Structure 1
Amino acid sequence: MRVSRNIVITGASLIALLIVLGLWSLMPSRTIELAPPPAVTHDGDLLRIRAGGPLDGRLTVEPVAETLSPHQVELPAQLITAPGQSVDIHAPVVGRVAGLYVQTGQHVQKGDLLATLYSGDLAQAWSDDRKAQATLALTRQAYRRAVGVLNAGGNAVKDMQSARNDLAQAEAEAVRAHLRLQALGTTGGEGYQPLMAPFSGTVTAVSIGVGQNVTDMTATLMNVADTGSVWVQASLPESLIPEMGTTMTLDAPFPGQTCNGPVTSQDASLHTDTRRLNLYLRCSNLQGLLYPGQFTTATLNITQQAQPILPKTALLMDNDLVSVFVETAPNTYRRRFITISYEEGESVRILSGLKAGERVITHGAILLNDY
């Protein structure tokens, strides 16, 4: 009885085992997946990219190029009248405007009459000149008479000497009175002071009218400017002064005309209010298409020695530090910090840290930045 019971238990156990095995065989098979090798491994300061990994083929590596092109800087610029070619007209005497013969925008030739002033000061100058000439004629006659009397023995030497002194003073006064008229620029017409054009040009401003009393000789009555040649004034920031070279050109576009050529001149000192240095370019304006006061953006071209150049996509920025990944072997890279000088469109020049011909990652370097 006991033996049959053991047989039943054993048989039941076998049946249960067979059922479990059958069910297990019906379940889908499973495989144990192992973790893939890392895409990037560190070897000191080197980064190695696994061949066939997720980064393989996503990095573009190119050699560092070299450029001889000039450095280009955009500067604010404006047109100004050429130095010495814009003159403010002032009255040399006080008086009343008797005639005005020009208007703003009118072209005049050198020596043209701009306006006339009726002036008591000028009348006084003419009177002084006539009196000086009359006194000179009288003292000259007195001196000749004194010399003749002395030669005849009827006069003392001191009388002749006194007459000669009077003549010298009269001559000096006559010269002074005449030079006074010349300084006033008068050509005739007592009491009428002419205002003449100092050179050929355009009247750019008129601030008087007929009948107006001119009481301040320092006041500007009008302005005459020669705009046949104008200057482009470009303002260079103080930070770029160290980049200046001995050979620089300016390109300044304006409607209808572009001014370009070597820098004509530059300021000798920095403007303390703007912290800028003005550069100048002489520009012909014979067609009259340019007007002083026009603004533009000028391009300063600074000649440079050969320098390495990189596209901006190769740069990795970390606060004030700039780095790139340099290829040391296939799929092996090292981070290197570099110094850049300035932007050249979509590229930058390299001051230090790289040489022309070295291979760097130009696209996709950001994928390695966190490793």
Structure 2
Amino acid sequence: MRVSRNFVIIGTSLLVFIIFLGLWALMPHRVIESSPPPAVTHDGELLRIRAGGPLDGRLTVEPIGTALTPHQVALPAQIIAAPGQTIDIHSPVVGRVASLHVQTGQHVQAGDSLATLYSGDLAQAWSDSRKAQSALTLARNAYRRAVGVLAAGGNAVKDMQSAQNDLKQAEAEAHRAQQRLQALGTNGDEGSQPLIAPFSGVVTAISTGVGQNVTDMTAALMTISNIDTVWVQASLPESLLPMLGTTMTLEAPFPGQTCSGPVTAQDPAFRTDTRRMNLYLRCNNPQERLHPGQFTTATLNITQKAQPLLPKTALLMDNDQISVFIEVAPKTYRRRYVTISYEEGDSVRILSGLTTGERVITHGAVLLNDY
């Protein structure tokens, strides 16, 4: 009887234990996990990326290249007439416009008649010339007679000298009168004054008409421009002056034609109204496709020495300084401060801090910036 009771107690205990284990297995348990190693570890100035970590594979590392291309600057530009190839036509005398022989946009050749004026001043110039020629003829004959009489012994030396003096004065007056006619540009017609084209070109403006009285000789009657050769004028801002070099080229695209070549000339001083310095490029225009006043955006190419070139995505701002991360070993990087120069599209030139061939994080460097 005692043995049976012991078996019952033991069986009951086992049953309770089994039920307890089953209930324990059914209860939720909190699993204590160990923290993973850090993604980045510090080793002095070095940053080491854990293999297989969240940053592994997200950083792009590339070697530094060298830029041999010139630095390019975009400048506003326009076509202007070549210096000395645009002139205003003025009347050398007062008078009245008798006829116009040209119209705006017309091509003229050197020596062509542009207009004709009637002028009293011209008539006076012709009268002075005829008087001078007549006085010269009389003085020349008187001098010859004085020389002949002196040779025959019938005249004093002073009479010959007086006649010689009169001759020299008459020659000077005749020369002056002739020079005045040449200065007026007369073609030999005593009653009219032609306006002659000084060179071949295009009549760009006319500001007179038939019957107009010309009383102001400083007022332009018309304008002629020769556009066989034009200049491209590019405006350089004052802030870009330090970029100028000794070797520069300009490239200016226009519809149907592109002008390019070395900078022909530049202004010696800035324009006070725009604070810009003008650079000039001579451009041949035989087909006259280019016209003064056309605008474009010119590219100024400034020759540079070989410099490291980096994408802008590699640059980081650190306390007002610019830095990059260089690779010193696989998955190991060090911060390096650099000095940049010009921007070249999506890249920048490096003045100091890096050398060609070093490996730099070009994409994803911002992920390390806070470590």
Fold conserved between structures, TM > 0.5: yes
After TM superposition, give the deviation of residue 98 of structure 1 in Å.
0.9
Match for residue 143 of structure 2? 143
* Distance in 2 separating the partners of 1:290 and 1:314: 44
Residues 319 and 142 (structure 1), Cα distance of their counterparts in 2 relative to 1, 3 Å cut: farther
Larger mean Cα displacement after TM superposition, 210-219 or 103-112: 210-219
* Distance in 1 separating the partners of 2:272 and 2:354: 37
After TM superposition, give the deviation of residue 305 of structure 1 in Å.
2.3
Match for residue 11 of structure 1? none
After TM superposition, give the deviation of residue 212 of structure 1 in Å.
0.8
Instruction: Give the unaligned 5+ runs of structure 1.
Output: 1-15
Residues 213 and 34 (structure 1), Cα distance of their counterparts in 2 relative to 1, 3 Å cut: same
* Distance in 2 separating the partners of 1:338 and 1:216: 67
* Distance in 1 separating the partners of 2:134 and 2:315: 90
* 1:43 maps to 2:43: yes
Match for residue 281 of structure 2? 281
Figure out how many residues of one structure are paired with residues of the other and give that number.
356
* 1:170 maps to 2:170: yes
* 1:307 maps to 2:281: no
Instruction: Report matched runs for 1:79-228 at 5 Å.
Output: 79-228=79-228
Instruction: Give the unaligned 5+ runs of structure 2.
Output: 1-15
Match for residue 61 of structure 1? 61
Larger mean Cα displacement after TM superposition, 43-52 or 122-131: 43-52
The one-letter code matched in structure 2 to 1:336 is R
Q: Deviations over 1:85-125 (max 9, x none)?
A: 11211111111111111011000111000001111111111
Larger mean Cα displacement after TM superposition, 302-311 or 105-114: 302-311
Counterpart secondary structure, 1:148: helix
* Distance in 2 separating the partners of 1:200 and 1:123: 29
Match for residue 366 of structure 2? 366
Q: Deviations over 1:214-264 (max 9, x none)?
A: 111111111111111111111223333333333322211111111122222
Counterpart secondary structure, 2:135: helix
The one-letter code matched in structure 2 to 1:324 is V
* 1:262 maps to 2:251: no
The one-letter code matched in structure 1 to 2:152 is A
Match for residue 10 of structure 1? none
* Distance in 2 separating the partners of 1:276 and 1:328: 46
* Distance in 1 separating the partners of 2:145 and 2:157: 13
Counterpart secondary structure, 1:270: coil
Match for residue 348 of structure 2? 348
* Distance in 1 separating the partners of 2:150 and 2:357: 105
The one-letter code matched in structure 1 to 2:301 is N
The one-letter code matched in structure 2 to 1:312 is K
Q: Deviations over 1:274-294 (max 9, x none)?
A: 333322222121112111110
After TM superposition, give the deviation of residue 347 of structure 1 in Å.
1.2
After TM superposition, give the deviation of residue 194 of structure 1 in Å.
0.8
The one-letter code matched in structure 1 to 2:110 is K
Match for residue 5 of structure 2? none
Counterpart secondary structure, 1:271: coil
Counterpart secondary structure, 2:53: coil
After TM superposition, give the deviation of residue 34 of structure 1 in Å.
3.0
Q: Deviations over 1:116-141 (max 9, x none)?
A: 11111111111110111111111222
Q: Deviations over 1:155-179 (max 9, x none)?
A: 3322222222111111111100000
Match for residue 12 of structure 1? none
Counterpart secondary structure, 2:195: strand
Counterpart secondary structure, 1:168: helix
Larger mean Cα displacement after TM superposition, 287-296 or 51-60: 51-60
Q: Deviations over 1:152-207 (max 9, x none)?
A: 33333222222221111111111000000011110111131110111111111111
Counterpart secondary structure, 1:124: helix
* Distance in 1 separating the partners of 2:234 and 2:320: 30
Match for residue 245 of structure 1? 245
Residues 318 and 295 (structure 1), Cα distance of their counterparts in 2 relative to 1, 3 Å cut: farther
Match for residue 6 of structure 1? none
Match for residue 75 of structure 2? 75
* Distance in 2 separating the partners of 1:44 and 1:172: 99
Q: Deviations over 1:288-313 (max 9, x none)?
A: 21111100001122222221111111
After TM superposition, give the deviation of residue 356 of structure 1 in Å.
1.0
Larger mean Cα displacement after TM superposition, 277-286 or 218-227: 277-286
Residues 320 and 81 (structure 1), Cα distance of their counterparts in 2 relative to 1, 3 Å cut: farther
The one-letter code matched in structure 1 to 2:153 is G
* Distance in 2 separating the partners of 1:231 and 1:103: 25
* Distance in 1 separating the partners of 2:317 and 2:24: 58
Q: Deviations over 1:47-77 (max 9, x none)?
A: 2222222111111111111121222111111
Residues 145 and 125 (structure 1), Cα distance of their counterparts in 2 relative to 1, 3 Å cut: same
After TM superposition, give the deviation of residue 32 of structure 1 in Å.
1.8
* Distance in 2 separating the partners of 1:241 and 1:24: 83
Match for residue 332 of structure 2? 332
* Distance in 2 separating the partners of 1:317 and 1:144: 100
